[in-house]
């Protein structure tokens, strides 16, 4: 039966494929692909986990006191039966062998299949046994995690696999953790669907960086869609079509072919300088998350890296923080790959929607923080962990000996923070001098993403070399909404007059002070805002590499003086989006 699910469109385009469900669990589950040669070894690991839990339950049963309630003994019997039923671990083998899932993912996928079967049972008693099944699975997951911690050996993760001849795969989940997104980023998925999230949630940002369609905030998709259902993701309309009819399927396949032709046309602009019709040169930089992303940045025609999100070096590490040498190697790799083009490295922006693993920093655990977006995150966390902060700064400064490096600090809101940063930099440079380690000149910049920073920008500009405006958080904090919460996602409005005025004034003040200014948030990569940002005087945009061609096309067609003349009308309007559409469209420029 065909049906539709509606959500928030966050990454444009059409994707068609089979659904792959990532089941939610009260226990953290690692999701990664394994090599074909490792399948039997991975299944053996799953069997060892089951056997370990079996022994644990048998020991508990044997140690029950004589006066223990009979129901407790019977409950342990139920758990043992479920644990050793061939429909659980034995059936999970298919996910390992056929789909190349790791053991934890395979077990979670099979749990999802069985849980649906329990939900459809008419007998209340049998239906309630789903909770027992979930408890059994969580015990096995815990046993698998314990084995991994004891022995680092085992099946190796495969980030990308050749699925030639197989159906395209679409990922469906309640939510996708940033740590999992690191694994999925270079894998086989052609699109993402999540129950929660907004336009600037991490899933949305990564989907756009991969140039694949995504719909978030669907609320029920992971419960309505079944494993291997045929699914269409309409990333333009925010619609998910499950088990589509042949006519609908053919219509969307035609749209896919049209989009491929358009992308091929835009790709021809790669080596064309981004110069407006009136002769202004615009810098188009790339946002990256890992050193290897520089390949896509250069392929897209980026003239530098405007944002290296260093926090991704800190995530998905089971609690271990990267050493100075590991960070230095990563930064150096990115700097050398850009071959003299500038690389802006942002200090670790941990917190909010990007927490560290639960085993690492207790104060960042979401269950202990009422509002992580307002808590100990970004520069606040760095200053609270001075040894970690100095370690990262040393690695960044050492990498500056191999190319042009700029240091960007997130979420600054106080002059006192700037002073602490400068003191730490002075100390770090002294340490490097003492040990004879080379470093180059590093420009210091801050992100304008807290309204306080935008309002007090003239004072901040006296102490820094450049600023980068992070529109994602600036919108979130200005409008007091959680950008990852689909319940208020409709209130996330880049066209809000308050947001536009903060943005325009920040750009104008930086330019007046003779300081470099860029926009590195999602607005920079959205071609719908290109003309507006040019009108505000922006000359440096930083975005995901996949977004550069469409933005460059808009720049090549832009006449900045004419756009600037329309800016006051837009900023003074009660409906800026409508005013911009009327004032900035190509037709209006001709009059």
- Is residue 346 part of an annotated ligand binding site? yes
Residue 504 class from Cβ within 10 Å (0-12 exposed, 13-18 middle, 19+ buried)? Answer: buried
- Distance of alpha carbon 286 from the chain centroid: 15
Structure tokens at 444: 């210091």
**Catalytic site residue from 100, 520, 540, 544:** 520
Helices (DSSP H) in 348-385: which residue ranges?
A: 379-384
What 3-state DSSP class applies to 173? strand
Cα separation, 197 vs 215, whole angstroms: 9
Strand partners, 30: none
DSSP 100: -
At 193, which helix (H) or strand (E)?
A: strand 189-194
Q: 202 an active-site residue?
A: yes
Contact call for residues 474 and 449 (beta carbons, < 8 A):
yes
What is d(CA 158, CA 325) in angstroms, rounded to the nearest whole number?
25
Task: Find the helix packing angle between 576-584 and 560-572, rounded to 10°.
Answer: 160
Is 162 annotated to bind ligand? Answer: no
Span between the terminal Cα atoms of the chain, in Å: 53
Quote the distance between the C-alpha of residue 259 and its chain's center: 24
Q: Is 449 within any annotated ligand binding site?
A: yes
C-beta separation of 553 from 477 below 8 A: no
Is residue 520 part of the annotated active site? The answer reads: yes
Burial of 43 (0-12, 13-18, 19+ CB in 10 A): buried
Pairing of β 14-22 and β 230-234:
antiparallel
| Contact criterion met (CB below 8 Å) for 283 and 524 | no
The secondary structure of 317-337 as a DSSP string is STTPPPPHHHHHHHHHHHHHH
Nearest to 489 by CA among 477, 476, 498, 501: 476
Could you tell me if 447 and 467 are in contact, meaning their C-beta atoms sit under 8 angstroms apart? Answer: yes
Q: Name residues whose C-beta falls within 8 Å of residue 63's C-beta, 6 or more positions apart in sequence.
A: none
Angstrom distance (rounded) from CA 129 to CA 482: 36
CA distances from 179 to 120, 200, 303, 367, 546 (A): 33, 17, 28, 18, 21
Exposed/middle/buried for residue 149 (C-beta within 10 Å: 0-12, 13-18, 19+): exposed
Find out whether 293 is annotated in a ligand binding site.
Answer: no
562 is in an annotated binding site: no
From the list 202, 285, 540, 544, the catalytic residue is: 202
**472 annotated as belonging to a binding site for a ligand:** yes
Query: In sequence order, which ranges of 338-450 are alpha helices (DSSP H)?
Result: 379-384, 386-399, 415-435
Binding residues are 309, 346, 449, 472-473, 483
Binding residues for phosphoenolpyruvate are 309, 346, 472-473, 483
Binding residues for Mg(2+) are 449, 473
Active site residues: 202, 520
């Amino acid at each position: 039966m065909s049906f539709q699910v509606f959500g928030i469109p966050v990454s444009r385009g059409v994707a068609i494929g089979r659904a792959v469900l990532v089941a939610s669990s009260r226990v953290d589950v690692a999701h990664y692909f394994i090599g074909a040669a490792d399948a039997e070894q991975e299944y053996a690991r799953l069997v060892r986990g089951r056997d370990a839990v079996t022994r644990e339950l048998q020991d508990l049963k044997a140690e029950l006191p004589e006066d223990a309630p009979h129901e407790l003994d019977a409950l342990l019997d139920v758990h043992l039966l479920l644990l050793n039923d061939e429909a659980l671990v034995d059936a999970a083998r298919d996910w390992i062998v056929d789909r190349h899932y790791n053991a934890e993912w395979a077990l979670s996928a099979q749990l999802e299949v069985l849980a649906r079967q329990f939900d459809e049972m008419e007998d209340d008693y049998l239906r309630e046994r789903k909770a027992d099944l979930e408890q059994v699975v969580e015990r096995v997951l815990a046993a698998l995690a314990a084995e991994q911690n004891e022995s680092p050996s085992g099946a190796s993760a495969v980030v990308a696999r050749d699925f030639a001849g197989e159906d395209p795969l679409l990922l469906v989940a309640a939510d996708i953790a940033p740590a999992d997104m690191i694994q999925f980023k270079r894998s086989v998925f052609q699109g993402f669907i999540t129950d929660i999230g907004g336009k600037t949630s991490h899933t949305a940002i990564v989907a756009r960086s991969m140039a694949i369609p995504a719909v978030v905030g669907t609320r029920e998709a992971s419960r309505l869609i079944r494993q291997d259902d045929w699914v269409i993701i309409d990333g333009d309309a925010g619609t998910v079509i499950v088990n589509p009819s042949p006519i609908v399927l053919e219509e969307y396949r035609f749209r896919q072919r049209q989009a491929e032709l358009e992308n091929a046309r835009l790709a021809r602009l790669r080596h064309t300088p981004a110069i407006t019709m009136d002769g202004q040169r615009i810098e188009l930089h790339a946002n990256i998350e890992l050193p290897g992303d520089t390949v896509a940045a250069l392929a897209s025609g980026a003239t530098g890296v405007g944002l290296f999100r260093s926090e991704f070096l800190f995530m998905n590490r089971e609690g271990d923080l990267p050493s100075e040498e590991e960070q230095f190697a990563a930064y150096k790799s990115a700097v050398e790959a850009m071959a003299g083009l500038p690389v802006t490295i942002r200090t670790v922006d941990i917190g909010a929607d990007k927490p560290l693993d639960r085993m690492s920093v207790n104060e960042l655990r979401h269950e202990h923080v009422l509002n992580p977006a307002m808590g100990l995150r970004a520069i606040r966390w760095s200053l609270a962990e001075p040894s970690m902060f100095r370690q990262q700064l040393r690695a960044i400064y050492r990498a500056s000996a191999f190319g042009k490096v700029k240091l960007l600090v997130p979420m600054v809101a106080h002059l006192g923070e700037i002073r602490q940063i400068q003191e730490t930099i002075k100390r770090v440079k002294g340490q490097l001098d003492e040990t004879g380690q080379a470093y180059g000149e590093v420009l210091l910049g801050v992100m304008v993403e807290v309204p306080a920073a935008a309002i007090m920008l003239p004072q901040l500009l006296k102490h820094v070399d450049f600023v980068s405006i992070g529109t994602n958080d600036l919108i979130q904090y200005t409008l007091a909404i959680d950008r990852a919460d689909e319940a208020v996602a409709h209130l996330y409005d880049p066209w809000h007059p308050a947001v536009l005025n903060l943005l325009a004034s920040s750009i104008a003040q930086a330019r007046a002070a003779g300081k470099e200014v860029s926009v590195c948030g999602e607005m920079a990569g959205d071609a719908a805002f290109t003309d507006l940002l040019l009108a505000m005087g922006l000359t440096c945009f930083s975005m995901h590499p996949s977004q550069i061609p469409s933005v460059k096309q808009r720049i090549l067609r832009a006449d900045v003086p004419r756009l600037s003349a329309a800016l006051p009308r837009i900023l003074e309007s009660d409906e800026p989006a409508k005013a911009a559409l009327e004032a900035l469209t190509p037709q209006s420029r001709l009059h």
